[in-house]
């Protein structure tokens, strides 16, 4: 029986500079119609990537709960550092009331809240600790799970995560393809204690850009059953906007249906951690 953990990195909750970058892409294609549609949608920028209710509806209708990893990015915008623009522009503040309200709604209705620790935090334990404290002050309880932004890890990151009080990490995976990094399929304990790493197997963009993704899925599920692993899937919350990310939402639903047809078990990563300890 396949074990599934559905997760969502919450990178963005609104569309900002993407209006310009997408318009340039359409311009290169001579697609004036979509350029016009981009600018028509600007007044609704606050809701374009706000897809929490959609995700909750999909999962609730299937009696499933997932893990949401919330980001607290602290890299400031610097006009002289264009390499960081993608990291700093258009990011939300974890302290926004609307966001705090949805975090409470998710948390009190069975979804798990985790930390999507910021881009530079993998080298900075004090930053990880600060971000953990801020998120815990919103939910008023301990946060046990973390995933690093852009899956950035070095040989000290897990140790730093553990030392500030996390019980598991789910950053070990690929950013450019689906499958298991270094053939690590089952959850593992880097320190031979109760700190667990849950390997990430499928990220949305990697799956959507792989024309053999569905064919590979059968083999992945066979690996999971054979090695007693857990299929961890990451579908970014903003990617449920079907106009900017065509077929992402429908593919997510299709994957859930495939897993269910194979008799899969769905739990949050936190629940799997408790099962293993």
d(CA 265, CA 191): 27
Question: Is 43 a member of any domain?
Answer: no
Q: How much is the average pLDDT of 60-65? A: 98
C-alpha to C-alpha distances, 69 to 51, 111, 114, 190, nearest whole angstrom: 14, 11, 4, 22
- Report residue 215 CA to chain centroid gap: 23
Q: How much is the average pLDDT of 177-195? A: 97
d(CA 35, CA 25): 9
The pLDDT score that the predictor gives to residue 121 is 95
Could you tell me the pTM of the whole model?
0.90
Tens of pLDDT, residue by residue over 132-165, are 999 999 999 999 999 999 999 999 999 999 999 9
C-alpha to C-alpha distances, 95 to 7, 76, 85, 127, nearest whole angstrom: 22, 16, 21, 16
Tens of pLDDT, residue by residue over 76-123, are 655 555 555 566 555 788 999 999 999 999 999 999 999 999 999 999
Portion of the chain with pLDDT greater than 70, in percent: 82
Task: Using DSSP, state whether 145 is helix, strand or coil.
Answer: strand
Q: How much is the average pLDDT of 39-58? A: 76
- Burial readout 34-44 (b: 16 or more C-beta within 10 A, e: otherwise): ebeebeeeeee
Question: Is 25 a member of any domain?
Answer: no
Tens of pLDDT, residue by residue over 218-264, are 999 999 999 999 999 999 999 998 888 889 999 999 999 999 999 99
Which CATH number belongs to the domain containing residue 87 in this structure? Answer: 3.20.20.370
The pLDDT score that the predictor gives to residue 36 is 46
d(CA 270, CA 167): 9
Question: Is 31 a member of any domain?
Answer: no
Question: Is 92 a member of any domain?
Answer: yes
The pLDDT score that the predictor gives to residue 14 is 82
Question: Is 42 a member of any domain?
Answer: no
Assess contact for 111 and 56: CB atoms under 8 A.
yes
Q: Give the count of domains, the chain.
A: 1
Question: Is 266 a member of any domain?
Answer: yes
Question: Is 255 a member of any domain?
Answer: yes
Question: Is 55 a member of any domain?
Answer: yes
Weakest-pLDDT range from 1-5, 17-21, 26-30, 67-71: 17-21
Range of the domain at 94: 3-14+48-276
Q: Is the pLDDT of residue 9 over 80?
A: yes
Owner of token pair 């792989």: 210
Strand-pair partners of 3 = 265
Q: Is the pLDDT of residue 65 over 70?
A: yes
- Burial readout 56-89 (b: 16 or more C-beta within 10 A, e: otherwise): bebbeeeebbbbbbbbbbbbeeeeeeeeeeebee
The pLDDT score that the predictor gives to residue 75 is 66
Q: How much is the average pLDDT of 67-74? A: 92
CA atoms within 13 A of residue 250's CA, in its CB half-sphere:
5
User: ∠208-34-44 over CA atoms, to 5°?
Assistant: 90
């Amino acid at each position: 029986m396949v074990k599934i953990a559905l997760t969502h990195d919450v990178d963005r909750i609104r569309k900002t500079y993407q209006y310009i970058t997408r318009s340039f892409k359409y311009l290169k294609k001579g697609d004036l119609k979509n350029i016009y549609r981009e600018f028509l949608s600007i007044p609704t920028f606050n809701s374009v990537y706000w897809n929490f209710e959609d995700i909750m509806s999909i999962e609730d209708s299937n009696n499933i709960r997932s893990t949401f990893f919330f980001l607290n990015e602290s890299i400031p915008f610097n006009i002289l550092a264009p390499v960081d623009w993608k990291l700093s522009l258009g990011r939300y503040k974890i302290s926004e009331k609307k966001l705090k309200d949805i975090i409470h709604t998710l948390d009190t209705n069975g979804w798990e809240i985790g930390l999507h620790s910021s881009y530079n935090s993998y080298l900075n334990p004090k930053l990880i600790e600060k971000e953990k404290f801020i998120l815990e002050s919103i939910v008023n309880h301990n946060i046990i799970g973390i995933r690093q932004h852009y899956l950035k890890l070095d040989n000290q990151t897990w140790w730093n995560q553990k030392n500030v009080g996390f019980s598991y990490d789910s950053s070990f995976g690929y950013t450019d393809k689906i499958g298991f990094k270094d053939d690590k399929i089952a959850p593992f304990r880097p320190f031979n204690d109760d700190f667990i790493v849950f390997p990430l197997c499928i990220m949305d963009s990697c799956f959507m850009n792989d024309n053999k993704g569905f064919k590979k899925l059968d083999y992945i599920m066979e690996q999971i059953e054979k090695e007693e692993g857990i299929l961890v899937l990451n579908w970014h919350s903003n990617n449920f906007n079907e106009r900017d990310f065509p077929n992402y939402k429908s593919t997510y639903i299709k994957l859930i249906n495939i897993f269910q047809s194979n008799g899969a078990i769905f739990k949050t990563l936190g629940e799997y951690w408790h099962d293993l300890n």
